[in-house]
């Protein structure tokens, strides 16, 4: 069940049965010459939507611009400063809490988001703990690519060149969602270099085509469907356990 395509009476009914909600969160940033700019948001929402269907869980809108300053030397990237992101996340969560949601599960598709999400959680918990009328309430975040069956399948599909940015797995998930965008051409070098990143200049100097450690010519829509299947399964069971906690 997706919030964006629900009516308010449907949300009211849902809240009588469950006060848990999943928020997909990603980024709008370059994903190499063959990957989509929306990859991190698309992967998180595809998996969340599938889990929502399977387990009848409400899925909030996708928080689809994240913390991506290091990708700004590539056209199309958009970023929030960490301070803006923390403020926006706090307002998203407090809006949901206002209606009675007490368990908020962020399924994340972008490593650069984890620190701002954690800081937003600290800010929100502090506000609620300072409010004498607030009730029990919890949030959690999880990177979809670290779900146990996803890690297993990913290692099986891509023993070499899985990578850490523009990963073969995340690109496959977007090809499953948008098969007309499947692009399996080989890039040069076949496997991108690895290293540390700071700002946009440093990033582009070291990783001129945008990839880090990956070979996305291995990505296939068919792999993506399998990754979505196991990820949705893991997410649905983790979210249900979290909502019941």
Residue 20 or 224 having the CB closest to Zn ion: 224
Q: Are 228 and 171 in contact (CB under 8 A)?
A: no
Kind and range of the H or E element at 212?
Answer: none
Using CB under 5 A as the binding rule, whether residue 46 contacts Zn ion is answered as: no
Q: How far is the CB of 109 from Zn ion (least distance, A)?
A: 6
How many of the chain's residues bind Zn ion (CB under 5 A)?
Answer: 2
The CA angle 124-125-126, to the nearest 5 degrees, is 90
Stretch that binds Zn ion, among 36-44, 115-123, 126-134, 188-196 (CB under 5 A): 36-44
Running DSSP on this structure, what letter comes out for residue 168?
A: H
Q: How far is the CB of 65 from Zn ion (least distance, A)?
A: 13
Piece of 39-47, 80-88, 120-128, 148-156 that binds Zn ion (CB under 5 A)? 39-47
Cβ count near 218 (within 10 Å): 22
Query: Does 40 participate in binding Zn ion (rule CB under 5 A)?
Result: yes
C-alpha to C-alpha distance for 46 and 232, rounded to whole angstroms: 9
CB of 49 to Zn ion, least distance (A): 18
In this chain, which stretch among 31-39, 45-53, 90-98, 213-221 interacts with Zn ion, using CB under 5 A?
31-39
Identity of the residue, 18 or 108, whose beta carbon is nearer to Zn ion in the bound complex: 108
H helices then E strands: how many in the chain? Answer: 8, 4
Sign of the CA dihedral 65, 70, 71, 73? positive
Contact residues: Zn ion, CB under 5 A: 39-40
């Amino acid at each position: 069940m997706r919030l964006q395509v629900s009516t308010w009476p449907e949300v009211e009914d849902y809240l009588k049965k469950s006060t848990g909600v999943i928020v997909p969160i990603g980024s709008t940033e370059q994903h190499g010459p063959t990957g989509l700019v929306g990859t991190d948001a698309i992967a998180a929402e595809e998996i969340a939507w599938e889990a929502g269907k399977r387990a009848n869980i409400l899925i909030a809108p996708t928080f689809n611009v994240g913390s991506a300053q290091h990708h700004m030397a590539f056209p199309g990237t958009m970023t929030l400063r960490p301070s803006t992101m923390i403020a926006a996340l706090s307002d998203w969560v407090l809006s949901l809490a206002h209606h009675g949601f007490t368990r908020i599960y962020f399924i994340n598709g972008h490593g650069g988001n984890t620190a701002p999400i954690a800081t937003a959680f600290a800010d929100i918990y502090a506000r609620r703990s300072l409010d004498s009328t607030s009730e029990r309430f919890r949030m959690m975040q999880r990177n979809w690519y670290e779900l146990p069956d996803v890690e297993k399948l990913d290692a099986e599909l891509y023993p070499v060149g899985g990578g850490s940015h523009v990963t073969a797995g995340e690109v496959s998930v977007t090809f499953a969602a948008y098969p007309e965008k499947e692009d399996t051409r080989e890039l040069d070098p076949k496997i991108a270099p690895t290293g540390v990143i700071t700002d946009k200049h440093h990033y582009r100097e070291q990783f001129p085509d945008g990839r880090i450690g990956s070979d996305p010519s291995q990505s296939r829509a068919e792999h993506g469907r399998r990754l979505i299947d196991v990820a949705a399964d893991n997410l649905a069971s983790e979210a249900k356990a979290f909502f019941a906690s």
